Amino acid sequence: QVQLVESGGGLVQAGGSLRLSCAASRRTFSPYTMGWFRQAPGKEREFVARISWSGGSTDYADSVKGRFTISRVNGLITVTVYLQMNSLKPEDTAVYYCAASSHSNVYYSPPEYDYWGQGTQVTVSS
C-alpha cells in the first residue's frame, strides 16, 4: 500500500514561514514526479508546485512564485519532498496535499497524480 505521510502544517502570522514535508516509500512504487496542491474551503483543489525525479525541473503556480520552493531528497528507501513557504499571506490558508506519480511527464492537474497524502492544514493569520 502506497502511503504519503505529510507534516509541517500549522498556524503562522502573515509574512512568516513554514516548511512542509512529505515522505513516500520506494518499496511499492517509484515516485518520479511529486507535487503539492492546496484546497481552501469552498474552492477546488489547486496546483501549487511540482518537481521532477532529479529535481532539475520545477514548476510553480503564479500565486506562489518567488515565495515557495519545492525540493526533494531521493533516499534508497524513502523519497521526501519539501515545500518551503516564505512570506506567507492569509490567502495561502488551505489544506495542503502532497501528491506523487510514477510517470515523468506529469504537471498541474490533480488527476495526473496517482497517490495523495492525507493533507495538512496551513493557516495564515493577518
What's the pLDDT tens digit per position in 58-116? Answer: 999 999 999 999 999 999 999 999 999 999 999 999 999 999 998 888 889 999 999 99
Sequential DSSP letters for 29-58? ----EEEEEEE-TTS--EEEEEE-SSS--E
In this prediction, residue 27 has a pLDDT band, given cuts at 50, 70 and 90, of confident
Q: Is the pLDDT of residue 2 over 80?
A: no
pLDDT, position 67: 98
Task: Determine the 3-state secondary structure of 121 from DSSP.
Answer: strand
Burial 6-30 (b: 16+ CB within 10 A, else e): bebbeebeeeeebebbbbbbeeeee
- The Cα 120–Cα 112 span in angstroms is 21
pLDDT digits (tens, 9 = 90+) for 68-79: 999 999 999 999
Grid coordinates of 66? 518567488
